[in-house]
């Protein structure tokens, strides 16, 4: 009986997202009556895949190997696309010991997609769902605005099965700060739409850059429903409520400076599925014009030294003034703020004053909720009083 040589191969197909690896399984079968040695495996381009590359494929099955007659070997290949593929065709070629058919081949058909979605950031007054792209706020308002992060969902996202997202929101702290609830937790919540999809916040972290005066809030969330459903509308993911402050501070030279009165709140969304990429549209917040003296005299007279009580106390986001009196001419005077650990946190006023009564604004936008002590040092006079800030 004559010996029979030969092999057959089965193709493999994969559908995935850009940058998301997927395992493909082709196979080769020994159709002959003698053992078959497979000495090499390689992939070649069909020439019909613009933008594609054989570098996106990795053959995991090692060669050489031997197949007994009638046996089949799976050939494992990892496909990691770095570009879009639409039924791209590549050839998997096996070099064998057969003298009649030394090379066998089959096809690898691949599709890789990425859906591009728009994510809007919209704002509203109070703690309501955001609907506007621009808004004006007055200084010293608690729950002045809410910023809602939306995700476009007027189409189903192909191949998406991700239910974990990270949202980063960045804002300038010149006159905005995140509102705190009664338990001192940040007023950050899952948006109404994502809450209905079973999402909860699993973590929140903060990073502050003192050079740019920008804060970044990183929110991780997890749910039970992915984006493969067409909701025919934008979905609210996250809502953050902000307080507004009077944007005044003192620079290194002791000058009173009004900070920027306009800012843009920005955000980004990241997820591990790679099936979705995002474009962004942000919103702008403008502080209403205000006329305010950071430190102003109330009455000039032959008064005695005095440090008054803060009113109201506790101090809220609307702020408060410290009233004090100086009892002489050309008296070096400082008003200092200390936290509960006796650490100096602010010097609202430092200068030379004549006899009279004055007020100085508490820079509440720079301070977190808690117990503080304010101290007056003026010539021979020194006094300290307690206040509480609740934001």
Cβ distance 96 to 30 under 8 Å? no
pLDDT at 292: 46
Distance between CA 270 and CA 186 in Å, rounded?
22
Residue with tokens 């690898």: 108
What domains does the chain contain, in order, with CATH numbers? 7-113 (2.60.40.10), 115-287 (2.60.40.680), 295-389 (2.60.40.2550)
pLDDT tens string, the chain, 391 residues long: the values are 345 678 999 999 998 888 889 999 999 999 999 999 999 999 999 988 888 999 999 999 999 999 999 999 999 999 999 988 999 999 999 999 999 899 999 999 999 987 788 899 999 999 999 999 999 987 777 888 999 999 987 765 655 667 899 999 999 888 888 988 877 788 999 999 999 999 999 999 999 887 888 899 999 999 998 877 778 889 999 999 998 876 655 555 555 555 667 889 999 998 876 677 788 999 999 877 654 444 444 444 456 889 999 988 899 887 888 989 888 888 888 999 999 988 899 888 888 888 878 888 888 888 889 999 999 999 889 999 999 999 8
> Following CA atoms 218, 221, 227, 232 in sequence, which dihedral angle do they give, to the nearest 10 degrees?
-80
Residue with tokens 């508490």: 362
Does this model's pTM top 0.75? My answer is no
**Coil, strand, or helix at residue 194?**
helix
Cβ distance 324 to 360 under 8 Å? yes
The stretches of the chain forming alpha helices (DSSP H) are 192-196
Distance between CA 106 and CA 46 in Å, rounded?
11
**Coil, strand, or helix at residue 196?**
helix
Distance between CA 121 and CA 129 in Å, rounded?
11
Cβ distance 317 to 175 under 8 Å? no
Cβ distance 275 to 162 under 8 Å? yes
**Six-digit token string for 21:** 């690896």
Distance between CA 106 and CA 10 in Å, rounded?
6
Distance between CA 321 and CA 245 in Å, rounded?
14
Cβ distance 271 to 185 under 8 Å? no
Residue 106: its H or E element: strand 103-113
- 343 burial level (CB within 10 Å; 0-12, 13-18, 19+): exposed
DSSP state of 56: G
The residue among 273, 277, 280, 197 whose CA lies nearest residue 231 is 197
């Amino acid at each position: 009986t004559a010996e029979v040589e030969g092999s057959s191969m089965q193709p493999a197909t994969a559908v995935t997202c850009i940058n998301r690896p997927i395992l493909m399984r082709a196979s080769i079968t020994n159709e002959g009556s003698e053992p078959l040695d497979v000495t090499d495996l390689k992939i070649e381009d069909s020439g019909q895949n613009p933008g594609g590359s054989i570098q996106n494929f990795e053959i995991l099955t090692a060669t050489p190997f031997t197949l007994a007659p009638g046996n089949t070997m799976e050939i494992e290949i990892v496909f990691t696309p770095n570009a879009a593929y639409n039924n791209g065709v590549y050839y998997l070629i096996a070099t064998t010991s057969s003298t009649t058919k030394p090379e066998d081949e089959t096809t690898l058909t691949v599709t890789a997609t990425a859906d591009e979605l728009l994510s809007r950031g919209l704002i509203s007054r109070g703690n309501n769902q955001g609907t506007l792209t621009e808004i004006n706020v007055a200084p010293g308002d608690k729950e002045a605005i809410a910023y809602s992060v939306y995700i476009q969902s007027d189409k189903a996202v192909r191949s998406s099965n991700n239910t974990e997202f990270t949202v980063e929101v960045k804002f300038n702290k010149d006159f905005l700060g995140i509102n705190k609830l009664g338990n001192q937790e940040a007023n950050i919540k899952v948006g109404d739409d994502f809450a209905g999809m079973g999402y909860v916040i699993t973590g929140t972290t903060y990073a502050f850059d003192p050079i740019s005066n920008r804060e970044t809030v990183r929110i991780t969330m997890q749910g039970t429903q992915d984006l493969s459903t067409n909701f025919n509308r934008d979905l609210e993911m996250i809502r953050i409520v902000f307080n507004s402050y009077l944007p005044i501070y003192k620079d290194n030279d002791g000058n009173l400076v009004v900070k920027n009165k306009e800012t843009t709140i920005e955000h980004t969304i990241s997820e591990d599925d790679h099936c979705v990429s995002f474009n962004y549209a942000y919103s702008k917040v403008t502080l209403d014009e205000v006329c305010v003296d950071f430190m102003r005299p109330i009455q000039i007279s032959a008064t005695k030294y005095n440090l008054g009580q803060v009113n109201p106390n506790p101090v809220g986001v609307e702020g408060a003034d410290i009233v004090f009196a100086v009892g002489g001419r050309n008296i070096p005077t400082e008003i200092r703020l200390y936290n509960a650990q006796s650490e100096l946190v602010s010097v609202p006023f430092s200068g030379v004053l004549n006899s009279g009564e004055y007020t100085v604004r508490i820079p509440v936008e720079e301070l977190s909720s808690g117990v503080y002590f304010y101290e007056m040092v003026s010539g021979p006079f020194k006094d300290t009083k307690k206040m509480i800030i609740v934001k």
